[in-house]
């Protein structure tokens, strides 16, 4: 045994969200545009999902372009220069290169100075994983200011003829800057996964199957909708309550509830299970934005901030869940 000891690392006393930004693609797509291909109707889609319109990205609205736009707004809101950012975490499942990750390219375009930059693959739960990681990095001393970006161009992996997914998924980007603070602005993360249900939401084929197929087709998202619905509506309410408990607050202290924008009925079922008081303002971005997977929580919080439903200093419960099945939740102070 060596007698030598290593220097430990210590960071800021606490971490907080300093700023938020978003990018919504220009093209608004109403249900009417999708229904013929899936033998559906505007009424059915609204009743089952709460979705009226969503945004689909155009050719120029790439994963990188949307990320940079959202990140620039978050940096400006935080009053932080790109040069001060020493960590960039990108949560996405729709960056179309297996390697390298998109985070270093985004960081470079933003003008960050050689930050640690990597992607995380936790699907719809990815943004809340990123916030949990970023807070630990700031408190642990491995970074000072971390950009967390949730971004998706799900239309690249969407089967427009699949009745269970074509009307749900959409495109966009949201970002926050996580940095140091004296008081806690990000509560303890409650996260985990249920790999027994690994195939509830998945890509139709893996890349080797595609490459060895006689008639290769682009893999698409596929989902066991009813099973996901049951899991999300019941199991996730417990995770949300645990995040409140770990943060030392109750539903009565909460100002805003910002769940993953999967489906309005899931949001309502969670709010009922958690017995949220009527005073808690609930994010309902899914109605006009669809389900943007890793981008959905920051997009939803951004809309609440913009519309005055979330004010600086408010307590917001963030919770995200999806393929894996992976989930993460934390209480944050709204920047």
Cβ distance to ligand COA smaller for residue 294 or 334: 294
* Helix, strand and coil percent figures for the chain, each rounded to 5: 40, 25, 35
We find the least distance from the C-beta atom of residue 162 to ligand COA, in angstroms, to be 9
Does position 42 interact with ligand COA (CB under 6 A)? The reply is no
> 50-109: which residues touch ligand COA (CB under 6 A)?
none
Residue nearest to ligand COA (CB): 225
Task: Determine contact, residues 10/142, Cβ cutoff 8 Å.
Answer: no
Q: How big is the CA angle at 185 (ends 179 and 191), to the nearest 5 degrees? A: 95
Catalytic residue among 31, 260, 263, 302: 260
Q: Which is nearer to ligand COA, 86 or 152 (CB)?
A: 152
For residue 292, the minimal CB distance to ligand COA (Å) is: 10
Give the residue, chosen from 291, 302, 326, 333, that forms a contact with ligand COA under the rule CB under 6 A. Answer: 291
Residue 266 contacts ligand COA per CB under 6 A: yes
* Contacts (CB under 6 A) with ligand COA, residues 169-198: none
When binding is defined by CB under 6 A, the residue of 49, 64, 92, 289 that contacts ligand COA is 49
Q: Is 260 one of the catalytic residues?
A: yes
- Residue 212 has a CB neighbour count (10 Å cut-off) of 9
- 256 included as an active-site residue: no
Q: Which sign does the torsion angle of CA 158, 260, 179, 309 carry?
A: positive
What letter does residue 186 receive in the DSSP assignment? B
193's enclosing H/E stretch is: strand 190-193
Question: Nearer Cβ to ligand COA, position 219 or 225?
Answer: 225
**Out of 95, 112, 124, 128, which one is annotated catalytic?**
124
291 is catalytic: yes
Q: Is 236 in the site for ligand COA (CB under 6 A)?
A: no
> Of the two residues 260 and 302, which places its CB atom closer to ligand COA in the complex?
260
Supply the minimum distance, in Å, between the C-beta of residue 184 and ligand COA: 29
Q: Which DSSP state fits 323?
A: G
C-alpha distances out from residue 194 to 181, 269, 273, 328, Å: 33, 20, 20, 12
Residue 280 in contact with residue 256, Cβ under 8 Å? Answer: yes
66: helix, coil or strand? helix
Q: How far apart are CA 174 and CA 72, in angstroms?
A: 10
Contacts (Cβ under 8 Å, ≥6 apart) of 279? 255
Q: Cα angle at 68 between 62 and 74, to 5 degrees? A: 140
Closest CB to ligand COA among 120 and 305?
A: 120
Residues taking part in catalysis: 124, 260, 291
Binding site for ligand COA (CB under 6 A): 38, 40, 44, 48-49, 124, 163-164, 167-168, 223, 225-226, 228-229, 232, 262-263, 266, 291, 322
């Amino acid at each position: 045994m060596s007698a030598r000891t290593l220097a430990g690392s210590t960071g800021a006393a606490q971490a907080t969200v300093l700023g938020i930004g978003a990018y919504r693609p220009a093209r608004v797509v109403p249900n009417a545009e999708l229904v013929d291909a899936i033998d559906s109707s505007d009424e059915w889609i609204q009743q089952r999902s709460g979705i009226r319109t969503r945004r689909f990205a155009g050719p120029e609205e790439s994963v990188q372009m949307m990320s940079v736009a959202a990140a620039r707004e978050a940096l400006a809101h935080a009053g932080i220069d790109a040069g001060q950012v020493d960590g960039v975490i990108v949560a996405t499942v729709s960056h179309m290169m297996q390697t390298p990750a998109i985070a270093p390219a985004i960081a470079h375009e933003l003008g960050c100075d050689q930050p640690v930059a990597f992607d995380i693959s936790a699907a719809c739960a990815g943004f809340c994983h990123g916030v949990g990681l970023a807070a630990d990095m700031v408190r642990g001393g491995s970074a000072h200011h971390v950009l967390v970006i949730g971004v998706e161009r799900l239309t690249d992996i969407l089967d427009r003829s699949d009745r269970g997914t074509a009307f749900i998924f959409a495109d966009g980007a949201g970002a926050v800057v996580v940095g140091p603070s004296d008081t806690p602005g990000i509560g303890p993360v409650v996260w985990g996964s249920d790999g027994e249900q690994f195939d509830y939401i998945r890509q139709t084929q893996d890349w080797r199957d595609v490459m060895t197929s006689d008639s290769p087709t682009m893999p698409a998202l596929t989902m066991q909708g009813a099973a996901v619905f049951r899991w999300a509506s019941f199991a996730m309410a417990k995770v949300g309550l645990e995040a409140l408990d770990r943060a030392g607050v109750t539903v009565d202290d909460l100002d805003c509830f910002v769940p993953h924008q999967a489906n309005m009925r899931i949001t309502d079922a969670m709010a009922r299970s958690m017995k949220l008081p009527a005073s808690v303002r609930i994010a309902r971005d899914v109605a006009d934005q669809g389900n943007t997977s890793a981008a959905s929580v920051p997009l939803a919080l951004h809309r609440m901030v913009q519309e005055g439903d979330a004010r600086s200093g408010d307590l917001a419960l963030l919770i995200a869940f999806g393929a894996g099945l992976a989930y993460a939740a934390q209480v944050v102070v709204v920047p």
